[in-house]
Amino acid sequence: MSQQAMNVTHRMVPSPGGRIHVVEQGAGPLVLLVHGFPESWYSWRHQLPALASAGYRAAAIDVRGYGRSSKPGDLEAYRMLELVEDNAAVVEALGERSAVVVGHDWGSVIAANSALLRPDVFRAVGMLSVPYAPRGGPRPSEVFARMGGDEEFYVAYFQEPGRAEAEIEPDVRGWLAGIYAAFSGDTTAGPGAPDPHFVSRGGRLRDRFPAGRLPGWLSEDELDFYAGEFERTGMSGALHRYRNMDRDWEDLARFDGAPITQPSLFAGGALDASTTWMADAIKAYPATLPGLVTSEVLDGCGHWIQQERPAEINRLLTGWLAALPA
């Protein structure tokens, strides 16, 4: 789907970190769409027209550090508190007082924290692929260091500035094709294959990616769009999100164990490790998401849920949104 065919409006709006790139379609109640890693506003290309047709003002952003949005040089500028305030600033800049926020992957975590920290702005929250889990437990870096045994968990691998960039940036398009295939329902390597969430000591993450074909949801032109964005921006802004997880743990200490009480939605893929590894978080939803309206796990679906299953996600989102209090 080309940008031209989508009939979208691009704009830049002020934010605490500089400017945020917003792509809009439709009119009505505001729905703010927040992407994950390694993506962009473009990951919502199927949702923008569907939400607009259903009577909503859909606004997909480039998260700070991505695409056309500002890319502060300070690593600490990518902590969760900053990204939440970016979201609130976008709502204000669009002339609205409140919005529904929906996120995928890291965007799911950003959306959840936006609802938690700014309930005055975000009246409902949708989370795709990554379940809500309240802040708690040991420091994240300690948890990641214990995972994988002789191998290194990918989040730990991403921690050192420049290390993952050195793997990715010489062949951005090939690396993106690999990670999209590795976590897609139709191209995942499956049981028995080396797990692409881990890195062999001295190895590279891409050594675990399947090669040879794109997932069914991704065309060559769509891959070109993603690659072009990261060729222009580099990867550091995106990777700095991972490098602030311990800071987030410290910043959010006052919210330890806190539930999100606004109306909420969750959807995940049955073949997505984010869903399976965090099954206990989903089981805890009666306590952690007391306002939960919709929760579904899609059979045969991987991580890139709104791109792998756009019709189903559009149905879930529009049905949930229609049921929300005005």
For residues 116 and 258, what is the distance between their CA atoms, to the nearest angstrom? 8
Instruction: Look up 207 and say whether it is catalytic.
Output: no
Report phi then psi at 286, rounded to 5.
-55, -30
Nearest residue to 69 (alpha-carbon basis) of 24, 117, 132, 20: 20
Amino acid identity at 134: P
Amino acid identity at 50: A
Q: Are 207 and 177 in contact (CB under 8 A)?
A: no
DSSP letters for 147-190: TTTTSEEHHHHT-STTHHHHHHGGGHHHHHHHHHHHTSTTT---
Identify the active-site residue in 62, 86, 105, 272. Answer: 105
Give CA angle at 296 (291, 302), nearest 5°.
Answer: 130
Q: Indicate if the alpha-carbon torsion angle 150, 151, 153, 157 is positive or negative.
A: positive
Angle between helices 106-117 and 80-93 (to 10 degrees): 70
Instruction: Look up 105 and say whether it is catalytic.
Output: yes
For residues 203 and 164, what is the distance between their CA atoms, to the nearest angstrom? 11
Identify the active-site residue in 21, 104, 240, 303. Answer: 303
Beta bridge partners of 61: 22, 34
Q: Indicate if the alpha-carbon torsion angle 12, 13, 17, 21 is positive or negative.
A: negative
For residues 271 and 273, what is the distance between their CA atoms, to the nearest angstrom? 6
Q: What is the largest distance, in Å, between two alpha-carbon atoms of the chain?
A: 54
Active site members? 105, 303
